[in-house]
């Protein structure tokens, strides 16, 4: 059974860089696409971006200028960096796996989520 | 890319069937069969319940079914149960982004 676990600081100040890591167990990051999704408190889901084991990435156009997603196959992890955060970036951040291949564009495994709060 | 449009809330009594709509455009739902649905209980991560418009993940109850007509996708929950009370989100591939989510629907079991 594939399991994902987010880790990283839960409190940031405005203008700082958000950094989260997702550790995958029960499966290899060397297959499939691996994504980040966020959910502001009381609001809906927003796709942030994804990475393939090759390092190839795709980002939400609305966040592209501030987002970097990378992968470390040796550690079976992938990471999210979001620069110049503001209060609007306060959200629960989820990492998830895209089903991939002929059955892509849906997330079949999710982490439990990590709340990141941006406040001065 | 704007979010797909869902009704804010839908309710039903135990045993009844309810349908949640998800309206997009010809640039997403209307042109691709990559529609998925997620169930989210309070404080929990979303759970995939439908993918590729109408496919259920292995082991998922057949009370959940999906369909699509034109630019609108639908999720039907039959034999409504108390445990179905949750938020539901649709998602679709689009011409400009691999994922766009719906606005979300709160399902209440009366």
**B71: how many CB neighbours lie within 10 A of its CB?**
18
Q: Given pLDDT bands bounded at 50, 70 and 90, which one contains residue A84?
A: very high
**Interchain contact A93–B (C-beta under 8 A):** no
> d(Cα B87, Cα B95) in Å, to the nearest integer?
26
For residues B91 and B28, give the distance between their C-alpha atoms in angstroms, rounded to a whole number: 9
Which pLDDT score, from 0 to 100, does residue A31 have?
87
Strands B35-40 and B86-92, by their bridges, are antiparallel
Taking CB atoms and an 8 Å limit, are B52 and A103 in contact across chains?
yes
pLDDT surpassing 80 at residue A102: no
Residues of chain A neighbouring B91 (CB-CB closer than 8 A): 45, 105-106
A10-59 tens-digit pLDDT = 999 999 999 999 999 999 999 899 999 999 999 999 999 999 989 999 99
Q: Note whether B52 contacts A46, CB cutoff 8 Å.
A: no
Q: What is the pLDDT of residues A62-73, one digit of tens each?
A: 999 999 999 999
- Closest Cα in chain B, distance from residue A60 (Å): 7
The pLDDT tens digits of the residues spanning A103-120 come to 789 999 999 999 999 999
Q: Which residues on adjacent β-strands are paired with residue A20?
A: A80
Residue-wise pLDDT tens digits, B22-77: 999 999 999 999 999 999 999 999 999 999 999 999 999 999 999 999 999 999 99
Tell me the CA distances in angstroms from B89 to A25, A80, B6, B70, one per residue in order: 26, 23, 8, 19
pLDDT reported for residue B44: 97
Point out the residue among B45, B91, B100 whose CB comes nearest to the CB of A106.
Answer: B91
Residues 6+ apart with CB under 8 A from A43: none
Residues B78-93 have pLDDT tens digits of 999 999 999 999 999 9
- Which among B36, B101, B107 has a CA at the least distance from the CA of A45? B101
What 8-state DSSP symbol labels residue B56? P
Q: Determine whether the interchain pair B89/A44 forms a contact, defined as Cβ–Cβ distance below 8 Å.
A: yes
Cβ distance B36 to A105 less than 8 Å, yes or no, reads yes
Q: What is the pLDDT of residue A99?
A: 78
């Amino acid at each position: 059974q594939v399991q994902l676990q987010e880790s990283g600081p839960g409190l940031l100040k405005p203008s700082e860089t958000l950094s989260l890591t997702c550790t995958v167990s029960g499966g290899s990051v060397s297959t499939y696409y691996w994504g980040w999704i966020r959910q502001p408190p009381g609001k809906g889901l927003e796709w942030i971006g994804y990475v393939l084991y090759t390092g190839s990435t795709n980002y939400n156009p609305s966040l592209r200028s501030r987002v970097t997603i990378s992968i470390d196959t040796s550690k079976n992890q992938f990471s999210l960096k979001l620069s110049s955060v503001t209060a609007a970036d306060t959200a629960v951040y989820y990492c998830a796996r895209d089903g991939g291949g002929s059955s892509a564009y849906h997330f079949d495994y999710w982490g439990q989520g990590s709340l990141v709060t941006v406040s001065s | 890319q704007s979010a797909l449009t869902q009704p804010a809330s839908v309710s039903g009594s135990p045993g009844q069937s309810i349908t949640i709509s998800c309206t997009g455009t010809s640039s997403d739902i209307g042109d691709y069969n990559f529609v998925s649905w997620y169930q989210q209980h309070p404080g929990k991560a979303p759970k995939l319940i439908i993918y590729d418009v109408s496919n259920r993940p292995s082991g998922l109850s057949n009370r959940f079914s999906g369909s699509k007509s034109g630019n609108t996708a639908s999720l039907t929950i039959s034999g409504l149960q108390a445990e179905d009370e949750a938020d539901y989100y649709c998602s679709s591939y689009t011409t400009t982004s691999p994922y766009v989510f719906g606005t979300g629907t709160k399902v209440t079991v009366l």
